[in-house]
Amino acid sequence: MRSVIRAALAMAAAAPLVPAASADPLAPGAASCLACHGPGGGLPDLAALPPQAIEAALAAYRDGTRQGTVMPRLAKGFSADESRAIAESLGRTGAAGR
Amino acid sequence: MSAGPTRRRLLAGLTAATVAAPALARAAPRVVVVGGGFGGVAAARALARGGITVTLIEPATAYATCPSSNAVIAGLRPLSSITFGYDGVRRAGVTVIHDTVTAIDPAARRVRLADGGSLAYDRLVVSTGIGLRFDAIPGYDEAAAATIPHAWKAGAQTALLARQIEAMDDGGLVALTVPALPYRCPPGPYERASLIAHLLKTRKPRSKVIVLDAKDSFSKQPLFQAAWTALYPDHLEWVPLAQGGAVEAVDAAARTLRTGAGVFRPAVINVIPPQTAPALCLAAGLTNASRWCPVDPVTFESTLQPGIHVIGDAAIAGAMPKSAFAAYSQAQVCARGVTDLLEGRTPPDPRLINVCYSLAAPDYGFSIAGVYQPEWDRLVTVPGSDGLSPDDAPPEVRAREAKLGRSWYDGMTRQLFG
Ligand SMILES: Cc1cc2nc3c(=O)[nH]c(=O)nc-3n(C[C@H](O)[C@H](O)[C@H](O)COP(=O)(O)OP(=O)(O)OC[C@H]3O[C@@H](n4cnc5c(N)ncnc54)[C@H](O)[C@@H]3O)c2cc1C
Residue B313's domain is classified under what CATH number? 3.50.50.60
Within 6 A (CB) of ligand 1 lie B 34-40, 57-60, 63, 66-67, 69-70, 100-101, 127-129, 152, 184-185, 188, 192, 278, 280, 312-313, 322-325, 327, 356-357
* 3-class DSSP assignment, residue B81: helix
Is the domain of B122 the same as that of B12? yes
Residues 6+ away with beta carbon under 8 Å from A76: A62, B371, B382, B384, B385
Is the domain of B253 the same as that of B203? yes
Is residue B51 one of the residues assigned to a domain?
A: yes
Is residue B187 one of the residues assigned to a domain?
A: yes
* Strand pairing report for B83-84 and B95-97: unpaired
- How far is B34 from B126, CA to CA, in rounded Å? 5
Atom of ligand 1 nearest to the CA of B130: 30
Per-residue pLDDT, B402: 98
Last residue of a domain, one of B273, B297, B323: B273
Is the domain of B237 the same as that of B300? no
Ranges of beta strands (E only) in B71-180 are 83-84, 95-97, 101-105, 110-113, 118-120, 123-126, 131-132, 173-178
* 3-class DSSP assignment, residue B342: helix
Question: For residue B353, what are the CA distances in angstroms to A28, A44, B22, B107, B209?
Answer: 11, 18, 33, 33, 33
Residue A73's domain is classified under what CATH number? 1.10.760.10
Interchain contact, B353 vs A29, CB within 8 Å = yes
Q: For chain A, what is the domain count?
A: 1
Interchain contact, A70 vs B328, CB within 8 Å = no
Dihedral of alpha carbons B86, B314, A82, A26, sign: negative
Q: For chain B, what is the domain count?
A: 2
Per-residue pLDDT, B198: 98
Compute and round to an integer the Cα radius of gyration of chain B.
22
CA–centroid distance, residue A48 to ligand 1 (Å): 32
Is the domain of B283 the same as that of B266? no
- How far is B266 from B268, CA to CA, in rounded Å? 5
DSSP track, B18-44:
HHHHHHHHSSS-EEEEE--SHHHHHHH
Task: Show the domain range for B326.
Answer: 5-59+99-129+277-346
Q: How many residues does chain A have?
A: 98
CA–centroid distance, residue B197 to ligand 1 (Å): 25
Is the domain of B238 the same as that of B295? no
Helices (H), B108-181: 156-167
Question: For residue B236, what are the CA distances in angstroms to A23, A63, A76, B244, B366?
Answer: 53, 39, 36, 17, 19
To the nearest 10 degrees (0 to 180), the angle between helices B188-203 and B221-231 is 10
Give φ, ψ of A49 to 5 degrees: -100, 145
Spans in chain B with pLDDT lower than 70: 1-27
Last residue of a domain, one of B297, B314, B346: B346
- How far is B329 from A8, CA to CA, in rounded Å? 25
Quickly state the pLDDT bin for A22 (edges 50, 70, 90): very low
Is the domain of B265 the same as that of B284? no
**Max CA separation in chain B (angstroms):** 70
Per-residue pLDDT, A6: 35
Using the 8-state DSSP alphabet, how is residue B313 labeled?
Answer: G
CA–centroid distance, residue B130 to ligand 1 (Å): 7
Per-residue pLDDT, A96: 67
Is the domain of B289 the same as that of B267? no
Residues 6+ away with beta carbon under 8 Å from B209: B173, B174, B175, B176, B193, B196, B197, B200, B235, B236, B237
- Dump pLDDT digits (tens) for B165-207: 999 999 999 999 999 999 999 999 999 999 999 999 999 999 9
Is the domain of B207 the same as that of B322? no
**Max CA separation in chain A (angstroms):** 44
Is the domain of B17 the same as that of B120? yes
Task: Show the domain range for A70.
Answer: 2-97
* Strand pairing report for B208-213 and B236-239: parallel
Interchain contact, A28 vs B329, CB within 8 Å = no
Is the domain of B248 the same as that of B342? no
> Mind telling me how many Å the CA of A50 is from chain B's nearest CA?
22
Is the domain of B263 the same as that of B205? yes
Report ipTM for this prediction: 0.91
- Dump pLDDT digits (tens) for B329-357: 999 999 999 999 999 999 999 999 999 99
Last residue of a domain, one of B346, B370, B398: B346
Using the 8-state DSSP alphabet, how is residue B180 labeled?
Answer: P
Per-residue pLDDT, B7: 40
Is the domain of B116 the same as that of B212? no
Interchain contact, B49 vs A41, CB within 8 Å = no
- Dump pLDDT digits (tens) for A50-68: 999 999 999 999 999 999 9
